[in-house]
Amino acid sequence: MTRDEATAAIVSSRLAKGFTWQQLADAIGRPLVWTTAALLGQHPLPPDSARQIAELLDLPAEAVPVLAAVPYRGGLPTAVPTDPTIYRLYEALQVYGPALKELIHEQFGDGIMSAINFKLDIGRATHDGAEHVVITFDGKFLPYNWPSD
């Protein structure tokens, strides 16, 4: 069983059994966005969580070590996403990416926002009476550093 097969099994079993992502995250006691990403093949699950998920979703036993292994990450089927929900995030990158780069440098110095020591949150706000999706990227600032010996 490959990780892609394990992911496909999770996706269809979740729909068939009617679990929400929130219920699966609660079941293993891990943050919601992290759990969803992990179950979509982007993070290894702790072995115990892998076993719980396999049980809940009736996955075969051989899925457990596969879910617990570090996966080959990168979840988009094409370099530029075609799905409109995901595309809007890419569009924001096209329109605001260079501005964010300038401001990270102006406010923090030469470096990057880590995508490894990093968390994402999804929330909700209201502006002018309309419901807004709020997505927060929160990553450690890593200054460019050339280690001395």
CA 21 – CA 116 distance, rounded (Å)? 22
122 counts as binding its own copies under rule CB under 8 A: yes
* CB neighbours of residue 26 within 10 Å: 12
* Residue 91 is a catalytic residue: yes
CB nearer to its own copies: pick between 32 and 52 = 32
Q: Is 88 a catalytic residue?
A: yes
User: DSSP string covering 33-62, please?
Assistant: HHHHHHHTTSSPPPHHHHHHHHHHTT--TT
Segment 36 to 65, residues that bind its own copies, using CB under 8 A? 36-37, 40, 42-44, 62, 65
30 included as an active-site residue: no
Residue in the block written with tokens 């699966």: 24
Q: Which of 5, 12, 88, 102 is catalytic?
A: 88
- What amino acid occupies position 73? R
Q: Restricting to residues 62-91, which ones interact with its own copies according to CB under 8 A?
A: 62, 65-66, 69-70, 72-91
Which lies closer to its own copies via its Cβ, residue 55 or residue 133? Answer: 133
**Catalytic machinery residues:** 88, 91, 114
